[in-house]
């Protein structure tokens, strides 16, 4: 099969098109012919080596964290899927590699593709929707009537998180540029802040939940818009002790993580709010629930641009510009 591989960790390093053996199908796996995949900022960070201490891959490895495709083979013990099923998935860590013609995925990580989406649209959903779900449903437990602030509302996670928060009954504020204000309003945002001309810290107050995806300065300011008992969930760091425990890190790395997040945890405690770091996990059952919301019309994908497979490096570079609305998709088949 053809695949794009990372030969070594390097900031903005090149991807190489390679001919690789077809993936081995293990117990519980489905072999998927990739019709489409999508690009996430996480792909750049993994290639750059930003997570290699916590999430090591041995180069050369195939990049890519989202997939929509067709099951062409099932391993022993598989009972949720059959050959011919159209699925979508975010493969679990250490088994990613969707910038390829084929990928073997554990059945627990996949779900049937939403009926109302084509393959390209479906491939844009898994990572960002699981991130939004795990932040707002699992961690923050958003309830009707609460106020939720979602940063970078026109980005991949933001476009889905706004819709999910509205579905959960929240009042939603978000930041974006003036040119994208109409987009985020169409997704359900009630309060839209132009980050170029307004300071959200001076506009917002008394919020129950903040979903942070920006830099440390923005993270610190986010604490000030929460009311006592509020919850700051960050997908851009710093990692917290719960994350280190979940990953089973050794004592030294646990200490490193604790030190990285000590300042924000101390500030959160002083304001009587809670801080949590989220590193999204693969979950096929949650993707089933997300597919139901999509097919009911509660969620819709936002796709900025579709690249052909032979322009995968260009697709990654486009995402790295930071100007993408929603997601960038790669059509493989």
Model confidence at 128: pLDDT above 90: yes
Q: Which pLDDT band holds residue 119 (cuts at 50, 70, 90)?
A: very high
Round to whole Å and give the CA distance between 85 and 284.
14
pLDDT of residue 54: 84
Of all residues in the chain, the percent with pLDDT exceeding 70 is 100
The pLDDT value recorded for residue 118 is: 98
Backbone angles phi, psi at 160, to 5 degrees: -80, -40
* All domains of the chain in start order, with CATH: 2-124+301-331 (3.90.180.10), 128-277 (3.40.50.720)
Give me 236's structure tokens: 């851009």
Structure tokens at 294: 């999509």
pLDDT reported for residue 217: 95
Phi, psi of 28 (to 5 degrees): 85, 0
15-39 pLDDT, tens digit each: 999 999 999 999 999 999 999 999 9
In sequence order, the 6+-apart residues with CB closer than 8 A to the CB of 124 are 38, 66, 156, 301, 302, 303, 326, 327, 329
Cβ proximity of 86 and 80 under 8 Å: no
Query: Residue 127 pLDDT > 90, yes or no?
Result: yes
Asked if pLDDT for residue 53 goes beyond 90, the answer is no
pLDDT value at 198 more than 90: yes
Average pLDDT over residues 109-118: 98
pLDDT value at residue 145: 98
Q: Is the dihedral of CA 199, 162, 135, 253 positive or negative?
A: negative
pLDDT in tens, 311-331: 999 999 999 999 999 999 999
pLDDT at 120 over 90: yes
Average pLDDT over residues 94-119: 98
Per-residue pLDDT for 223 more than 90? yes
pLDDT at residue 111 tops 90 = yes
What are the tens digits of pLDDT across the range 55-105? 999 999 999 999 999 999 999 999 999 999 999 999 999 999 999 999 999
pLDDT in tens, 158-197: 999 999 999 999 999 999 999 999 999 999 999 999 999 9
pLDDT value at residue 247: 86
What kind and span of H or E run contains 312?
helix 312-319
Predicted pLDDT of residue 173: 98
Give the N- to C-terminal CA distance of the chain in Å, as an integer. Answer: 12
33 token code pair: 């012919």
pLDDT digits (tens, 9 = 90+) for 266-280: 999 999 999 999 999
For 304-316, the pLDDT digits (tens) are 999 999 999 999 9
Sequence-separated (6 or more) residues with CB below 8 Å from residue 45? 51
Using one digit for the tens of pLDDT, what is the confidence trace for 136-147?
999 999 999 999
* 8 A C-beta contact, residue 25 and residue 31: yes
Q: How confident is the model at residue 234 (pLDDT cuts 50, 70, 90)?
A: very high
Q: Pick the residue with more confidence: 245 or 295?
A: 295
């Amino acid at each position: 099969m053809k695949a794009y591989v990372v030969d070594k960790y390097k900031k903005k390093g090149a991807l190489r098109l390679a001919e690789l053996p077809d993936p081995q199908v293990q117990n519980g796996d489905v072999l998927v012919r990739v019709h489409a995949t999508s690009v996430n900022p996480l792909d750049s960070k993994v290639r750059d080596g930003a997570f290699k201490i916590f999430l090591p891959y041995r180069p050369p490895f195939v990049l890519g964290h989202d997939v929509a495709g067709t099951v062409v083979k099932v391993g022993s013990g598989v009972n949720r899927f059959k050959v011919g099923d159209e699925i979508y998935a975010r493969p679990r860590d250490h088994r990613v590699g969707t910038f390829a013609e084929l990928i073997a995925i554990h059945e627990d990580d996949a779900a049937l593709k939403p009926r109302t989406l084509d393959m390209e649209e479906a491939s844009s959903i898994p990572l960002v929707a699981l991130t939004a779900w795990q932040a707002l449903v699992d961690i923050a437990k958003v309830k009707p009537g609460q106020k939720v602030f979602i940063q970078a509302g026109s980005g991949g996670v933001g476009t889905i998180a706004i819709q999910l928060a509205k579905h959960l009954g929240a009042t939603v504020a978000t930041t974006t540029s003036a040119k994208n204000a109409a987009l985020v309003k169409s997704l359900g945002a009630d309060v839209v802040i132009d980050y170029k001309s307004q300071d959200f810290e001076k506009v917002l107050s008394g919020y129950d939940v903040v979903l942070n995806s920006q830099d440390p300065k923005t993270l610190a300011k986010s604490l000030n818009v929460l009311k006592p008992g509020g919850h700051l969930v960050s997908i851009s760091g710093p990692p917290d002790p719960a994350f280190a425990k979940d990953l089973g890190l050794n004592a030294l790395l646990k200490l490193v993580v604790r030190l990285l997040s000590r300042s924000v945890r101390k500030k959160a405690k002083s304001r009587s709010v809670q801080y949590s770091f989220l590193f999204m996990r693969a979950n096929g059952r949650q993707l089933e629930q997300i597919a139901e919301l999509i097919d009911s019309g509660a969620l819709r994908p936002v796709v900025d641009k579709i690249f052909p497979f032979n322009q995968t490096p260009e697709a990654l570079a486009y995402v790295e510009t930071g100007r993408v609305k929603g997601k960038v998709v790669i059509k493989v088949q």
